[in-house]
Structure 1
Amino acid sequence: MKHTLSRVTRAVALSAVVMMVAVGCATDSEGASGGELGEYDLSGLEIAVGSKDFTEQLVLGEIMVAAFEATGADVDNKVNLGGTVVAREALLNGDIDVYMEYNGTGWTVHLGQEEPSFDPDELTEGVRGLDLEQNDIRWVSRSPFNNTYGFASSPELTESNGGVFTMQEMADYMAANTDTVLCLESEFPDRPDGLILFEEATGYTVPESQVTILDLGLIYGETADGNCDFGEVFTTDGRILALDLGLVDDPGVMILYNVSMTVRDDLYQENPGVFDEIADLILSPLDNELMSELNKRVAVDGEDPEDVAVDYLVSQGLIDG
């Protein structure tokens, strides 16, 4: 049963049965998606979908494009706009209607708030209420995955530890081994959501002698090669899996960065229940492991984000293959 009116109404005339069968087959193959998203009809809706310019955002953007196309919406693909400021301004200005944003970014950057909650639901609800009130932006649904700052250990060090480190074990190891090399990008030691949170949680102040500053893109490979014992990472980066790094277990130290679909409220009001349900369908399966795997397929294996997005929707039964 469709959630709105049927997209196609066919008039069948006895004299044109054969022709109508052919046309019907062509229409089904081109326009109908099957899967759960095929139960929604957004035909006539025009929606511009954007994203930021890094791997995870490209995948999430293309997931939205394919999902909305599956409902019959007229989609303007503006994936890969630029950085956070560019994507947010495009949303506020009406150049795009929707993109995926992180709750920690929403709270601290877009809304200028301090002391974010470490409960993902509470943080998202706080952002949701303020952004709607101040900017007419809706935060719809929330991903299980949390792409926050973290640390990874080299494969050799992880093995010698008997498995992944906890943050406290990492701190204890560094305290006991003064020649430990911790690789960080240049801003991390001074960021309020950076190294200070690790130091406050573990009680260990990292001396400058243990810190090596590198470009973030180099840290993954240098850690894999053992030149860094520990390295700063983003926790859903596909290179963690690809390089067999040991992601240090975070008990809730670093600020949260779950994503929601951020939508202009004027567009949301046209189909409020539908936007909620579609966002839930595409975000609810995305835990850290799955999002990391999708990122790896693009960043490491070289697959096209559009192909990875479609494969994801097919694998979840949201569209037909």
Structure 2
Amino acid sequence: MRTGLRRLVPLFGLVLVAACGLQSGGAVPLPVGPGSIRPVPELDGVAITVGSKDFSEQNILGYLIEFAMVAAGADVRDLTNIQGSNSLRDAQLHGQIDIAYDYTGTGWINYLGNETPVPDEVGQFEAVREADLAAHGMVWTAMAPMNNTYALVTSRRTAQETGVATLSDYAKLIETDPAAAATCVGTEFNVRQDGYPGMARKYGIDTGKVRKQIVQDALVYQATADAGQCRFGSVAATDGRIPALDLVLLRDDRAFFPKYNAALVMRSDFAEANPQVATIMASISARLTNETITELNRQVDVDGREPAEVARDWMVAEGFVTAG
């Protein structure tokens, strides 16, 4: 277990978010100075609380916001590493978090209750932006190219042996040789309609033939790379363990999986009072490609580095900030 810079927000503090509220957060873990992001007079001393969910990518994204806002002169509080999407969302709706990165698919399906995703990335972003503003007064802006969608992977060896490159190929393999398509899936992916059940319907997979094991998400990657009990596995597409273990993403050739592009989310009152925030963050979001965020995730999940250090080093390398 990594210790040090990373904090764990207790679950019980989030369950009672409406009644008790979260604590005000901690200090930004590492110092930064201005780079291409210069001090903004309108943000000087403005209190901004930044949140994130409790996994590596989200912690990195949260720290990117924090370092940008510090360089701009804001008084930033760190409330990253909140357990679960719903807890982060509740904290934002109740005003305990001002800004966070979230995912367009999560907004459309989990927060707004839609069942059918919009297939186009920009279309999905625009749909959730309009609907969430109208329903909850939440502003979505500065969408990044990175798309942390669900996916299936296999080892390079299995891909070569079976010739499976797409989800249609995978479905055919289940039909002809179920044992050769043994699959490990995470607990949520196993039951979510944007996970295995929906994918099986879309690709005509006979679930009665599937040799499937339900395991913890973190165990899927190595188990699939070993190609023993799992020859295929469910993953998040931008996870750093995919390239580290030489796993191969299967192409979603029928465009089933929703788009999960990261975008900045703020309450409308905060966004209207501080329009400079979206302008600053747009240039950062624009550089967050799948390749970029996957590499940053790899440094945390494979190399064991702290998310705050990884985020600050990238911000410095890109010229956005300087190391304090």
Fold similarity call, TM over 0.5? yes
Provide the secondary structure at the position in 1 that maps to 2:178: coil
CA contact (8 A) 2:32 2:321 kept: no
DSSP 3-state at the match of 2:76: strand
| 1:149 shift after superposition | 1.0
The answer to whether the 8 Å contact 1:31/1:72 transfers is no
> Residues 123 and 31 from structure 1, CA distance in 2 versus in 1: closer, same or farther, beyond 3 angstroms?
closer
For the 8 Å contact 2:146–2:289, the answer to whether it is kept is yes
Matched to 1:84, the amino acid is S
Report what 2:266 is aligned to. 263
In structure 2, relative to structure 1, the CA distance for the partners of 1:281 and 1:216 (3 Å cut) is same
Query: In 2, are the aligned partners of 1:70 and 1:319 still within 8 Å (CA)?
Result: yes
Equivalent position of 2:212 in the other structure: 211
Shift of 1:106: 0.9
What are the within-5 Å matches in structure 2 for residues 1-321 of structure 1? Answer: 32-35=33-36, 37-38=37-38, 40-41=40-41, 42-160=43-161, 165-180=165-180, 181-227=182-228, 228-251=230-253, 252-272=255-275, 274-321=276-323
Change (3 A) 1:187 1:64: closer
Is the 2:52–2:100 Cα contact (8 Å) retained in structure 1? yes
The secondary structure found in structure 2 opposite 1:47 is strand
Moved more, 125-134 or 152-161: 152-161
CA distance in 2, matches of 1:34, 1:190: 45
- Give 1:72 shift: 0.8
Contact 2:63 2:308 (C-alpha < 8 Å) held by counterparts: yes
> Once the two structures are superposed, what CA deviation does each residue of 1:160-200 show, in whole Å capped at 9, x if it has no partner?
357x7122222223333231211112443432111234334
Please state how far the C-alpha of 1:270 moved relative to its aligned partner.
Answer: 1.9
Aligned equivalents of 2:123, 2:210: Cα separation in 1: 38
Within 1, Cα distance between the matches of 2:129 and 2:222? 37
The one-letter amino acid paired with 2:322 is D
Change (3 A) 1:179 1:316: same
- Report the Cα offset of residue 31 of structure 1: 7.6
Contact 1:52 1:80 in 2 (8 A): yes
Q: CA–CA distance in 2 between the matches of 1:90 and 1:186?
A: 25
CA RMSD of aligned residues (A): 2.0
The 1:278/1:100 distance shift into structure 2, 3 A limit, reads same
Partners in 2 of 1:235 and 1:204 — Cα distance?
Answer: 21
CA distance in 2 between counterparts of 1:242 and 1:293 reads 9
Letter in 2 for 1:171: A
Deviation track 1:48-89 (CA, whole Å, cap 9, x = no partner) reads: 101111111100001111011011111011111221111111
1:31–1:66 distance in 2 versus 1, CA, 3 Å? closer
Residue correspondences, number: 289
Structure number with greater Rg is: 1
For the residue of structure 1 that corresponds to 2:145, the secondary structure is coil
Letter in 2 for 1:165: A
The CA deviation string for residues 117-155 of structure 1, in whole angstroms up to 9 with x for no partner, is: 111111111211122222221111111111111100023
Whether contact under 8 Å (1:148, 1:257) holds in the other structure is yes
8 Å contact kept, 2:52–2:88: yes
Distance in 2 (CA, whole Å) between partners of 1:291 and 1:155 is 22
